[in-house]
Homo-oligomer: A and B are copies of this chain.
Amino acid sequence: MLDMLCFTGISKIPYSPSAGARDVLCFKHYNASEVLHGRTMEDWLRFSVCYWHSFCGTGADPFGFPTLHRPWNEGGSDMDIAKKRLHAAFEFFTKLGVRYYTFHDRDMAPDGSTLEESNRNLDEMTDLALQLQKETGVKVLWVTCNLFAHPRYMNGASTNPDCHVLAYAAAQVKKGLDVAKKLGAENFVFWGGREGFHSIYNTDVAAELKHMANFFKMAVAYKEKIGLKCQFLIEPKPKEPCKHQYDYDAMSVIGFLKHYGLDQHFKLNIEPNHTTLAGHAYEHDIVMASVFGMLGSVDSNTGSPDLGWDTDQFPMDIRNTTIVMKTVIEQGGLQPGGLNFDAKVRRESTELEDLFIAHIGAMDAFARGLRNAVRIIEEGVMSGMLKERYLSFTEGIGQKVAEGRGTLEELEEFIKQNGEPKVTSGKQEKYESIFNHYL
Chain A residues numbered 342-367 whose CB sits less than 8 Å from any CB in chain B: 345-351, 354, 357-358, 360-361, 364-365
| Docked-complex contact B198 and A346, CB < 8 angstroms | yes
Known: A24-B434, A251-B251, A428-B346. A214 touches B148 (CB 8 A): no
In A153-168, which residues have CB < 8 Å from any B CB? 153-155, 161-168
Q: Does any Cβ of B come within 8 Å of A15's Cβ?
A: no
Distance from A248 Cβ to chain B, minimum over Cβ atoms (Å): 6
B-contact 0/1 string along A267-285, CB 8 Å cutoff: 0000000001111110110
Check if A426 is an interface residue, CB within 8 A of chain B. yes
Interface pair A67/B151, CB less than 8 Å apart: yes
A319 to B201, CA, bound (A): 12
A62-B61, A201-B432, A436-B316 in contact; A306/B281 too (CB < 8 A)? yes
A385 to B204, CA, bound (A): 11
A/B interface sample: 6 pairs, CB < 8 A: A65-B149, A115-B416, A167-B411, A204-B386, A276-B306, A354-B430
Contacts of A194 in B (CB 8 A): 63-64
Residue interface mask A376-405, B partner, CB < 8 A = 1: 000101100110011011001110011010
Q: What count of chain A residues pass the 8 Å CB interface test?
A: 160
**Min C-beta distance of A109 to chain B, whole Å:** 16
Interface centre among A283, A287, A397, A429 (most CB of B within 10 A): A429
Please state if A437 and B21 are interface contacts (CB–CB under 8 Å).
Answer: yes
Q: For residues 140 through 188 of chain A, which have their beta carbon under 8 Å from a beta carbon of chain B?
A: 148-155, 161-168, 170-171, 173-175, 177
Structural contact, B436 and A365, CB atoms closer than 8 A: yes
A411 neighbours in B (Cβ, 8 Å): 166-167, 170-171, 174, 218
Closest to A356 in B: B429
A177: B residues at CB distance < 8 A: 408
Among B28, B116, B279, B287, point to the contact of A279 (Cβ < 8 A): B279
Cross-chain contact of A438 among B21, B148, B251 (Cβ < 8 A): B21
A211 and B63 in contact (CB under 8 A), knowing A358-B429, A430-B24?
A: no
The stretch that binds B, out of A2-10, A30-38, A89-97, A233-241, is A233-241
Roughly how many angstroms separate A210 CA and B399 CA in the complex, as a whole number?
Answer: 12
| A123, chain B: closest CB distance, angstroms | 15
**Residues of the B chain whose Cβ atoms lie less than 8 Å from the Cβ of A21:** 379, 381, 434, 437-438
Judging by beta carbons under 8 Å apart, are A357 and B429 in contact? Answer: yes
Q: Looking at the complex, which one of B278, B404, B424 makes contact with A217 (CB distance below 8 Å)? A: B404
Stretch in A41-49, A124-132, A253-261 touching the partner:
A253-261
Given the contacts A114-B419, A162-B392, A408 and B152 also touching, CB distance less than 8 Å: no
A434 to B194, CA, bound (A): 24
Q: Could you tell me the distance between the alpha carbons of A30 and B165 in the complex, rounded to whole angstroms?
A: 39
A197 to nearest B CB, angstroms? Answer: 9
Nearest 4 A/B pairs, CB to CB: A308-B308, A255-B255, A348-B426, A163-B398
CB-based contact A241/B61 at 8 Å: yes
A350 to B348 Cα, complex, angstroms: 33
Given contacts A211-B393, A251-B248, A306-B280, contact A430 B350 (CB under 8 A): no
Partner of A291, one of B209, B214, B420: B209
**Chain B residues with CB under 8 A of A20:** 437
Cβ-defined contact, A202 with B426, below 8 A = yes
Cβ of A1 under 8 Å from chain B = no
A81 to B350, CA, bound (A): 32
Give A280 to B277 CA distance when docked, in angstroms. Answer: 11
Smallest distance from the beta carbon of A218 to chain B beta carbons, Å? 5
